[in-house]
Amino acid sequence: MADRRQVLRLGALAAGAPAVLTAAGAPAAAAPPRPPRRPALVIGHRGASGYRPEHTLASYELAARMGADFIEPDLVATKDHVLVARHEPEIGGTTDVASRPEFASRRRTVEIDGVPVTGWFTHDFTLAELKTLRATERIPAVRQHNTLYDGLFPVPTFQEVLRLRERLCRELGREIGVYPETKHPTYFRRLGLDLETPLVQALRRRGLNRRDAPVLVQSFEAANLRSLHDDFRLRVPLIFLTSATGGPYGDPQSYAEYLTPAGLRELARYTDGIGPEKGQVIPRKADGTLGTPTGLVADAHAAGLRVMPYTFRAENQFLPAELRSGTDPAAYGRALDEQVTFLRTGIDGFFTDQPDIGVLARDLALAPA
């Protein structure tokens, strides 16, 4: 039986092998209290965005090589209706567009889900134009090391992400899933650039519109998921993302209402799980330290839904107060402790910017104490 020291060694040497301990036959009875029902999924959030500019093929590839079970592209549309991977329609924060004189006149203000946003927008660029840009690090003050890669990588299309997935499955000899998120689907639909049609087409084209495909589709808009399920006949599991406050854009029902036991039972009609903000699983106290777990995991499981919270990041500034190390906001704190604590609530997966740390945390959570 592997002990905690062996896990640490295995985790350090073989981050590419998820669920090492389960594969080695660690008996469930020896696991820590309240183990996950099955090994939690490590989801490479925007790829391995702790180590590469987010939403680049380099970021996704590194996530897979670090052992992520899924890679996560956020999806938006170009002017010619092609899906590309960006966290939001505005691209001034994650590309070098601001330094391109030929695109200076494209800068403008638009209203996205009721909020004015100024910058450059994917829907004002054809794919060919967008391909001339290069990705840059979103948070250089925290991830200065990632600025090393500024200017190297183009913005990938969703098709390119799916092709990368196939290549990495072959090379690594294991299934790597893709976990796309539709970003602002109502906004894009009103522009005549709906995200649903090209998403479903792309999945069909690669034989992935089936229940057992290594695909999970997520959205903050429940109506978008309902439509994907009921109208577009998307057969892959769907995951409803939630925040601690507010509700989906244009929806009279709040996230809190969706997460009541009755709301969860209704969600289970057309979704397979929820992706809550992590504070909805374990809130922080007024002093910034971790509080007591809510009943959300148990409630969701009772409704037959999986729970995969976001987003786990190793840097001090993102960690609970008691898990920070030193005073540098960009330095790593005790991220493993945070993730193991969450894993012991029974979550079914988690989004992380540092997939290697996520794989190690999962191994630690599964190991006998």
Q: Which residues bind ligand G3P (CB under 6 A)?
A: 45, 74, 87, 181, 218, 241, 275, 310-311, 351
Pick 2 or 274: Cβ nearer ligand G3P: 274
Closest chain position to Ca ion (CB): 181
Nearest-approach distance from CB 160 to Ca ion, in angstroms: 18
Stretch 328-367 residues interacting with Ca ion (CB under 5 A): none
Distance (Å, whole) CA 143 – CA 95: 15
Residue 284 pairs in a beta bridge with 290
Cα–Cα distance measured from residue 251 to residue 263, given in angstroms and rounded to the nearest whole number = 14
Whole-angstrom distance, CA of residue 259 vs CA of residue 154 = 38
Residue 280: contacted member of ligand G3P, Ca ion, none (CB under 5 to 8 Å, by partner type): none
Phi, psi of 70 (to 5 degrees): -130, 150
Specify the amino acid at residue 236. V
CB closer to ligand G3P out of 56 and 218: 218
Site size with Ca ion, rule: CB under 5 A: 2
The smaller minimum CB distance to ligand G3P, of residues 45 and 362, is found at: 45
Do residues 282 and 288 lie in contact, with contact meaning Cβ atoms separated by under 8 Å? Answer: no
Beta carbon of residue 89, minimum distance to ligand G3P (angstroms, whole number): 13
Binding mask 70-89 for Ca ion (x = CB under 5 A): ----x---------------
Assign 57 to helix, strand or coil.
helix
Residue 101 Cβ vs Ca ion, minimum distance, rounded to whole Å = 32
**CA-CA distance, 354 to 314, in Å (whole number)?**
7
Cβ 335 vs Cβ 354: under 8 Å: yes
Using DSSP, state whether 182 is helix, strand or coil.
strand
Which residue number, 74 or 129, has a Cβ lying nearer to Ca ion? 74
DSSP character for 194?
-
Burial class (CB in 10 A: 0-12, 13-18, 19+), 74: buried
Kindly tell me which of 120 and 310 has the beta carbon lying closer to Ca ion.
Answer: 310
Residue placing its CB nearer to ligand G3P in the complex, 74 or 129 = 74
Q: Which is nearer to ligand G3P, 45 or 65 (CB)?
A: 45
**Residue 54 C-beta: closest distance to ligand G3P, Å:** 9
129 binds, among Ca ion, ligand G3P, none (CB under 5 to 8 A by kind): none
DSSP for 73-105 reads -EEEE-TTS-EEE-SSSB-TTTBSGGG-GGGGG
In angstroms, what is the minimal distance from the CB of 242 to ligand G3P?
Answer: 10
The phi and psi torsions of 348 (rounded to 5 degrees) equal: -100, 0
On whether the CB atoms of residues 255 and 267 are closer than 8 A, the answer is no
Q: At what angle do helices 335-343 and 355-366 cross, to 10 degrees?
A: 50
By the rule CB under 5 A, 221 interacts with Ca ion: no
C-beta closer to ligand G3P: residue 2 or 307: 307
> Which member of 54, 69, 124, 181 binds Ca ion (CB under 5 A)?
181
- Dihedral sign, CA of 198, 98, 44, 219? negative
Q: Residue 38 CB, nearest distance to ligand G3P (Å)?
A: 20
Of 59-67, 177-185, 200-208, 224-232: span binding Ca ion (CB under 5 A)? 177-185
Which residue's Cβ lies closest to ligand G3P? Answer: 310
Binds 276: which of Ca ion, ligand G3P, none (CB < 5-8 Å by kind): none
DSSP state of 334: -
Q: For binding to Ca ion (CB under 5 A), which residues are involved?
A: 74, 181
